[in-house]
Amino acid sequence: MKKLHRKAFATAAAVALGAGVAGVATTPATASATGPESTFLVLAPQGGTVDRAVARVAAADGRVLADYRQIGVLVVRSANPDFVVDVAGAGVESVASTAGLGSVLNEGDTVELTEAELAEAVGDPTGEPLFGQQWDMPMIDVPRAHAVTTGSADVVVGVLDSGISSSHPDLTTQIARDQSASCIGGVADTTEAAWNPTTSDHGTHVAGTIAAALNGVGVAGVAPGVRVAAVKVVDNEGYIYPEAAVCGFMWAAEHGMRLTNNSYYIDPWELNCRNDARQRPVWQAVQRAIRYSQGKGVLTVASAGNSNYDLAHKFTDSGSPNNGTPEVREINGACLVLPAQAPGVVTVAAVGPTGQKSYYSSYGQGVVDVTAPGGDSRIRTQGRTSTTVDAILSTTFNTVTRTNGWGWKQGTSMSGPHATGVAALALSAHPGMTAGQLSAFLERTAVSQPCPAGVYDPVPLLPSTADYTATCQGGARNGFYGAGMVNAYNVVK
């Protein structure tokens, strides 16, 4: 196996102009703007017109890049250092610069299979040479589900991430190219090169878990009969910005997607505080976009996070911001992880090969909805050493050699797409479901997982000063596993 050390990357949501969106403004900045340009989110009062906000932007030496008048949000660029003050007034509810609000996801290492390992892989009844190493698929009953259905091509899943390799042999037939786009910078670019990966293979790995083809090559996806759309949301430096997130949800809403997979958090502070003047406009804009997509029939699935954080009991945030030097700040109930804790979002925790909570997975009673395999390479040795094959095997793209392959990753970024794939199978078997009905069905068909007794300490021998102990609260539905492990067969039988 080849271990590729990759720098930290953020997985992001992307912006696009859909049917009925006003588009890019052509009004030039008016005069005295100086200095470097910055990006702003300008919010009009919800339910009203954006026309006065557009006029105020122009008067404040700004230009509109993207006009999401369906939700009253404008993405704006301006070199006016006083833009926030100058744009305020009638027709503008709130405004925030997104400079410094790029969030980085620590993607960790990808361990790729070597050519020799690929050559030695043996076939199995599914016909996929590497399926025997996908311990995650039997765990959620995928083989039995595939005997009923592998999914419908009418179901399109938006992978809001770092792009999908369109040349990968396990994915090239699976991509909805006409529904894919890059939204880096807040503006949609539908050219194929734009939504392919550049500096991260995270999205390619996620896409393989959802829908890798049954073609006698590589691995099998949870729902190989459905299609995935690449909605590229990570820039080449590995950042996701709020304007990209808004755009991604809007693109999915306006381009026929039924599900989106979101393995990231928005804002370099892991918890977005709605009572903070700088963060509140971000919360408002993202929440409006998610709510709009839900109204269009899109179910949002999001990863819980990899901080072993009790999201139901938040008192301090000590690991943020992730784009600079971490600080310790006191927080309260107004502070939430975006998008995982936004209303209507299915929040997914992670388990390893033993079915226990992955040592890194965040949790929380009333926050986690379901759990799914995310991998845990430390669980069998109590943290002492790492066992690569206990991570998740899926499709990869080597951004150095620009070649496709297969390899291992772990994280709630990997558990999320398992739940998304199961939801895609459910939609294939029951196409009339609304987003709310699908969410409830996913939970109702999950297999309940009991809390471990006492303090959970899965990696006491891990060579780290971090504390990975946790306490599970609840009964049949609890803080570690929510309603339980997603089950592919239960949603199609």
- The backbone torsions φ and ψ at residue 409, rounded to the nearest 5 degrees and listed phi first, read -140, 165
Q: Largest Cα–Cα distance in the chain?
A: 69
Helices 242-254 and 280-295 pack at an angle, to 10 degrees, of 10
- The backbone torsions φ and ψ at residue 390, rounded to the nearest 5 degrees and listed phi first, read -90, 5
Burial class for 222, CB neighbours closer than 10 Å (0-12, 13-18, 19+)? buried
In whole angstroms, give the CA distance from residue 412 to residue 425. Answer: 20
Q: How far is CA 29 from CA 33, 43, 64, in A?
A: 8, 19, 10
**Which residues form the catalytic set?**
161, 202, 413
- Tokens matching residue 133: 């190493």
Helices (H) and strands (E) in the chain, counts: 11, 23
Strands 227-232 and 181-182, how do they pair? Answer: parallel
Q: Give the residue among 117, 118, 113, 146 at the shortest CA–CA distance from 213.
A: 146
SS3 of residue 450 by DSSP: coil
In whole angstroms, give the CA distance from residue 235 to residue 98. Answer: 14
- Give the DSSP letter string of 60-107: TTEEEEEEETTTTEEEEEE--TTHHHHH-BTTB-EEEE-TT--EE---
In contact, 139 and 488? CB cutoff 8 Å: no
Strands 103-104 and 239-240, how do they pair? Answer: antiparallel
Burial class for 159, CB neighbours closer than 10 Å (0-12, 13-18, 19+)? buried
- Tokens matching residue 91: 């027709």
In whole angstroms, give the CA distance from residue 175 to residue 230. Answer: 7
**Could you tell me which residues come within 8 angstroms of residue 276 by beta carbon, excluding any fewer than 6 positions away?**
none
